[in-house]
Structure 1
Amino acid sequence: MNKQHAQHQIWRKLGLLSIVMVLLLLAACGSKDNSTTNDESNAQQQEQTTEQTTEQPAAEQPGATVYPLTLKDDSGTEITLDKAPARIVTLAPSETEIAFAIGAGDSVVGVDEYSNYPEQANAIDKVGDTTTNIEKVTALQPDLILASVTMNTQAIEQLRALKLNVYATEPKTYDAVIEKIKNIGVLLDKQQGAADVADRMSQVKADIESKVASADKPSVLVEFSPGWTVGKGEFMDELLTLAGGTNVAQGNGWYEFDSEQIVKSNPQVIVYSSWYEEPNAILEGINARPAWKVIDAVKNNRLVEVPQDPLSRVGPRLAEGLQSLAKAIHPELFQ
């Protein structure tokens, strides 16, 4: 599979990422942890950039957003909203899922072709796939466009040139995804909905960390697209660690692995993503590599399929992706 084809297939599932977008999608700038101090007024919280926000205690109820509101996104660009957005366009599946999860689904008027969750997203006007249809987006007259820094680079530039508000993100860790959701909650005046999602995601992470804390850390290969894995600096690598595994991928970012190097690394578990058609092309590829028969994961039948979308989309369902990884690596702890 050549690089361009691999990227297209990944984007199909992550729409990603998502990740899916393989390197392009997931090779973006990392977002930084943001939070909001207890003593600050609600208006002061809004004026801070996403890079300066401090986490509020769980007991404190989020207030309403005060407009005008200025926030800086992961591309380093500040946007200012005069009022809560009534018309939202999302250019990546993760952004679509966030909008619906925090209670802003009724305001979404346009989505990308790969936004397939929740079910309501399928009925919304489509604005393109890996290439955004700028004319369709502008025709929808959006107050706010939610995008991925890496996946939607060209579209972001074009839309900003038209003076449209684009909030672009590229989180590199699980906690950064949580902060991203909270910041979008502020933008959309859906802070309570965002807080509920953030609390659930944080609880899932805490529960898994507690369960795997004293367990062995088996060596694991994650193959999310045929011949592709993920190394240092990306959220999926961190997910693997949080799930109680040790990543055999020693490279950086999303890359096409060397099969001989995987044999030398000898992973105890191979986790592969579900695919958009049967038979699963990833599993077919694993079984077609004769040299891999000596790998412990293959010999011991520790080849585990996990759902791709939750694993690869940097939105609310990343918690489910983390759970699926943990169960694949430590089935004995998650009966």
Structure 2
Amino acid sequence: MRPVRSALAGALFAALTLAGCGQSSPASAPSQTLSPTAPAAATPSAGFPVTVEAGNGPVVVAKRPERIVSLSPSATESLFAIGAGPQVVAVDDQSTYPAEAPKSDLSGFKPNVEAIIARKPDLVVVANDIGGVVAALGKVGVPVLLEPAATKFDEAYDQITDLGDATGNGDRAAELVAGMRKRLDEITAAAPKDAKLTYYHELDTTPYSVTSDTFLGQIYGLFGMTNIADKAPDPAGGYPKLSAEFVAQADPDLVFLADTKCCAQSRETLAKRPGWSRLSAIKNDRVIPLDDDIASRWGPRVVDLAEQIGDAVQKVSAG
């Protein structure tokens, strides 16, 4: 979403264009650098107020927030990556990274408005507006950024930019996005592209998978592989439930498991499923265990996921 600065702030900061969700120059104007030696440390509200165009529309942040509550694991990772960690006072019970994040019993799936308010936040970040939490917090004057699940890379970059602008860490956010773009380009350039390679990405043991239209599917698409789930009935809009027979018949060259932590899945457990012991990926040791958290978020570590996929493709292509 586009951050839009006030006229005064726009005059103070130079524009930096980012290719995220059709941003204009004012949308990506960086805020003051907040390193320990920067002048901004003495004037923490320099560049504020700022208006950020989030999923819930324009959100005004009057001053540099010092008590941020994150109810989104992806946002938590991004906040710490851009240097806003010291401003975060609480994160939800699913925010497992980084280790120093102040994890609490707050829930992003069942948000308790009273419990959130008790943390005295001056900014709340959510990925879902469950139970009308955005409006409820708005009634008591707490600004809320709704940053829903990204559906493409530009949206992920744009959300990092949003968080940078909203927290006074715009320069760090711009550096992070530029670094992510550069590293992704390097990873995809180094990996071979082989459309003949097929893959299966497992979300859980049901088993649900993802199509090429999803955010995850687009990451795999960078490496030219064919997704077996694209041919499955897809009533869930990008997340088809596959039968064991479907996967066995498709016989993918590679299997990526995003249910290693939640469900303890591995090459060995897959081999025990009916008909799966004969899968090429199992016989040829091409089952790649992923970190469930990294594979389900759209923050900075999405580049780590792309690197792991690229390494797997490189290994198979090298024979």
1:192-231 alpha-carbon deviations (Å, 9 max, x no partner) = 2112211221112101221235445511000022112112
Q: Specify every segment of 5 or more residues in structure 1 that has no aligned partner in the other structure, as ranges.
A: 1-30
For 1:168, the equivalent position in structure 2 comes to 146
* Equivalent residues of 1:89, 1:108 under 8 A apart: yes
In the alignment, what sits opposite 1:225? Answer: 204
Match of 1:128 among 107, 124, 137: 107
CA distance in 2, matches of 1:147, 1:310: 18
The higher-RCO structure (CA 8 Å, 6+ apart) is 1
Matched AA of 1:317: R
Distance across 2 between alignment mates of 1:143 and 1:217: 51
Distance 2:103 2:245 in 1: 45
Structure 1 partner of 2:218: 238
Structure 1 counterpart of 2:243: 258
Structure 1 residues 290 and 158 mapped into 2: Cα distance closer, same or farther (>3 Å)?
same
Within 5 Å, give how 1:94-133 maps onto structure 2.
94-121=74-101, 123-128=102-107, 130-133=109-112
Deviations 1:276-335 (A, max 9, x none): 36x82365652232222343223323211122222221111111111112222332679x
Query: Taking structure 1 as reference, are residues 178 and 35 closer, same or farther at Cα in structure 2, changes over 3 Å only?
Result: farther
Q: Residue 156 of structure 1 corresponds to which residue in structure 2?
A: 134
Flag the 1:244–1:111 CA change in 2: closer, same or farther, 3 A.
same
Deviates more, 1:183-192 or 1:323-332: 323-332
Partner amino acid for 2:52? L
Write the deviation string for residues 87-139 of structure 1: whole angstroms up to 9, x where unpaired: 10000211111111101111101110121211111x45442363222212101
Paired with 1:229 and 1:153, the residues of 2 have a C-alpha distance of: 28
SS of the equivalent of 1:119 reads coil
Give the corresponding residue for 1:183.
162
| Cα distance change, pair 333–142 in 1 and its aligned pair in 2 (3 A) | farther
- TM-score normalised by length of structure 2: 0.79
2:287 counterpart letter in structure 1: L
Question: Offset at 1:74?
Answer: 2.3
Task: Answer yes or no: is the 8 Å Cα contact 1:271–1:328 preserved in 2.
Answer: no
Q: Distance in 2 between matches of 1:214 and 1:245?
A: 7
Shift of 1:270: 0.6
Between the aligned partners of 1:35 and 1:247, the Cα distance in structure 2 is 39
Quote the sequence identity (%). Answer: 24
Write the mapping of 1:206-225 to structure 2, written as runs, cut at 5 A.
206-212=185-191, 214-225=193-204
- Pick which of 266-275 and 136-145 moved more: 266-275
- How many angstroms apart in 1 are the aligned matches of 2:249 and 2:94? 37
Preserved CA contact (<8 Å) 1:310 1:319 = no
Checking the alignment, whether the CA contact within 8 Å between 2:244 and 2:274 is kept in structure 1 is: no
Q: Tell me which residue corresponds to 1:79.
A: 59
Task: Provide the rounded CA distance (Å) in 2 between the counterparts of 1:285 and 1:157.
Answer: 45
The equivalent residue for 2:41 is none
Report how far residue 148 of structure 1 moved: 0.5
TM-align CA RMSD: 3.3
C-alpha distance in 2 between matches for 1:55 and 1:208: 28
Q: Name the larger-Rg structure.
A: 2
- Contact 1:244/1:329 (8 A) holds in 2: no
Normalising by structure 1, report the TM-score: 0.75
- Please tell me whether the aligned partners of residues 96 and 115 of structure 1 are also in contact (alpha carbons under 8 angstroms): yes
1:291 equivalent among 228, 253, 275: 275
Equivalent residues, number:
291
Q: Is the 8 A contact 1:85 1:144 kept in 2?
A: yes
